[in-house]
A and B are shown apart, each in its own frame.
Chain A
């Protein structure tokens, strides 16, 4: 029994690490630019396809292709902010929602057109292996993904707290007008924020590729969990999103184990409802980052 619970917790934490990469991206854009990016999942999908084609055409390991998918998506993010998001910033919620939602639909359908609806997997030497600790096993691909996700989250935290650009980003998030008065160029800061968010989505894609099939709708699977994590961990709070993602992974896994395999999400959403009922601003209300 104890091993079953321990195994469920391990499984939950591992998938929680992936949820974290997606949700941190969403929360970062929201925190800084104040836009909810409904297309975040589609950038994960793009990251997956980048890794898939690098792996099948050039034999590059999906984990190595991280160094390509992240910069590519960073640039996409900068362009996205500069050419699209910037134009709707002053227009209020509706145009922003429509813009990112339309972008999501567009990307899914372009992917369907280009790559068809087929599932694509990459076989790596570690796709099916696992580390066995007594009765408990830790799948290698997910362990690596989790570790890299945590390292990237840590680097992001350091970036936000120790570099001038990071501090400027947080300042712009707290109060854009005052930040501008202090000489911060919000356009530049916003570009970097969206770029970093998308780079994280790209990282999630590359990390998923060794153990999850790529297909045009794959982003939707992860983005739902990411949104729950973002709300649960307080909108705009990077650390909150990270912790909430891990909690959700574990809750889902335990739910599947003890409530029913089709009820994993029920536990997650129950957690969300309870949190919103008692802490409407999420578990980490306020600006703890």
Chain B
């Protein structure tokens, strides 16, 4: 009895064992399948930014924003048409150097299975990366403003305003300050300085803006006093300095010291980043600039800005904010392409048409690319330093704060 008892017990145990195991196996199998579907292959996106060298500070901010954007896409469920695939950002340091940019872009494209790239902040670097991406048939999104990026390219997409539009906006903004603007343009005698200032000079007559002084100077000033003395003598009521941060700091301080009453529009780039205010301090209040994106343009932008601010302690600057939008454009393209193939992503980008959500949170509020890769709705926004923050003040439709009189 005990024997049979024990044997039945044993049998029963065997059966239970079997059931348990098979159930486990089935469960494991089904769970495994489910897990597989859930964790679809991540989609690799390349980010090319200068995190060392001259542009390091800005480059690091871009990387921070790019990471934040990827996390936002992933938290919202990833790419649904790819089974909820997560975005995976692969960052490469282009070191503020054109040669490094070329090799790094090559390395990134050949080393990883990428679906798209974004980069590189500085136009000089982006032009190189875009050439490499073009040859590799890899879609590249960029906030860089050089009009060159829209020539003979099929894989480069520029969702934000172009350099030529910046100059126009800057000239139009001078009307905010005076009915008859008399502008002094001082520019560093480099490629950047000459091309930007020539753009201003060419478009000035059409905008009814008189240029009373047009003066190159040697970049790397020891003293801006003599230059400002000259501006003072020109009788200008508006100054456009086309300079990098160091000279800009000296120029603005010299103007303050001289007591010259003149409005300043510093353009974009280094002028519209938190670091500028940190360096110049209260003197920056009231200064005007131009940006392709600002953190107050709409509710979505403000939301992202709040998150970024909490994490990094400063506002989301122009380029970095645009980058968040770019990441969502890539996500939108992936969603519609339902493929990680760069060619298909490129085709989906070319038919992108968004007017809401994070992808569309720029001035103009819409994105659709023309055949040259330009966003047909893009335009720059005029900004002003107000209370240690940047406020959009131009054009009327994008203005989020009244112009502060100085």
Contact = CB atoms under 8 A, between A and B. Distances in A.
Contacts of B372: none
Which of the listed residues B226, B258, B280 has the most CB atoms from chain A within 10 Å of its own CB?
Answer: B226
Interface residues of A, number: 41
B223 A11 contact: yes
A202 to B, nearest CB: 18
B249 to A, nearest CB: 6
A280 B216 CA distance: 33
Interface string B264-282: 0000000000010001111
A253 B217 CA distance: 12
Given A117-B54, A213-B246, A261-B186, A256 B281 contact: no
A146 to B, nearest CB: 12
A154 to B, nearest CB: 23
Contacts of A260: 215-216
Contact of B218 (A8, A257, A265): A265
B395 to A, nearest CB: 31
B201 interface: no
A4 B229 contact: yes
Given A132-B259, A212-B250, A256 B230 contact: yes
B257 A261 contact: no
Contact of A14 (B225, B232, B250): B225
Given A119-B279, A137-B257, A139-B257, A8 B226 contact: yes
Contacts of B218: 261-262, 264-265
Given A11-B225, A14-B225, A15-B223, A118 B259 contact: no
A30 interface: no
B136 interface: no
Interface string A135-165: 0010110100000000000000000000000
Nearest to B249: A213
B391 to A, nearest CB: 22
B230 A257 contact: yes
Contacts of A221: 220, 222
B254 interface: yes
B185 to A, nearest CB: 11
A7 interface: yes
Contacts of B257: 128-130, 137, 139-140
B53 interface: yes
Contact of A261 (B216, B249, B279, B281): B216
A225 interface: yes
Bin the interface of chain B by size: 35 or more
Given A128-B256, A256-B217, A11 B249 contact: no
B275 A118 contact: yes
A265 B258 CA distance: 23
Contacts of A15: 222-223, 225
Given A118-B57, A121-B279, A262-B189, A8 B253 contact: no
A43 interface: no
B311 to A, nearest CB: 20
A253 B275 contact: no
Nearest to B245: A119
Interface SS of B by simple majority: helix
A128 B253 contact: yes
A108 B222 CA distance: 18
Contacts of B189: 262
Contacts of B56: 116-118
A74 interface: no
B307 interface: no
A7 B246 contact: no
B226 A253 contact: yes
A95 B280 CA distance: 43
B28 interface: no
B227 A256 contact: yes
B233 interface: yes
A153 B276 CA distance: 35
B253 A256 contact: no
A127 B281 CA distance: 10
B39 interface: no
B230 A261 contact: yes
B233 A211 contact: no
Contacts of B54: 117
Contacts of A139: 225, 253-254, 257
A38 interface: no
A286 B281 CA distance: 48
B353 to A, nearest CB: 41
A252 interface: yes
Nearest to B55: A117
B25 interface: no
B37 interface: no
Contacts of A129: 257
B29 interface: no
Contact of A213 (B225, B279, B282): B279
B71 to A, nearest CB: 26
Nearest to B230: A257
B57 to A, nearest CB: 6
A225 B218 CA distance: 14
A110 to B, nearest CB: 15
Interface string A203-245: 0000000011101000001100100000000000000000000
A116 B59 CA distance: 13
A11 B229 contact: yes
A12 B257 CA distance: 15
Interface of A: 4, 7-8, 11-12, 14-15, 18, 116-121, 123, 127-130, 132, 137, 139-140, 142, 211-213, 215, 221-222, 225, 252-254, 256-257, 260-262, 264-265
17 contacts: A7-B229, A8-B229, A11-B226, A15-B222, A117-B54, A118-B275, A139-B254, A142-B223, A213-B245, A213-B250, A215-B246, A222-B222, A225-B222, A252-B226, A253-B223, A253-B226, A264-B218
Given A211-B250, A262-B216, 15 more contacts: A11-B223, A11-B225, A116-B56, A118-B56, A118-B57, A118-B275, A121-B249, A121-B281, A130-B258, A213-B246, A213-B249, A257-B229, A257-B230, A261-B186, A261-B227
Considering the complex of A and B, which 8 residue pairs feature the smallest CB-CB distances, nearest first? A261-B217, A11-B225, A256-B226, A130-B257, A15-B223, A139-B257, A253-B226, A128-B256
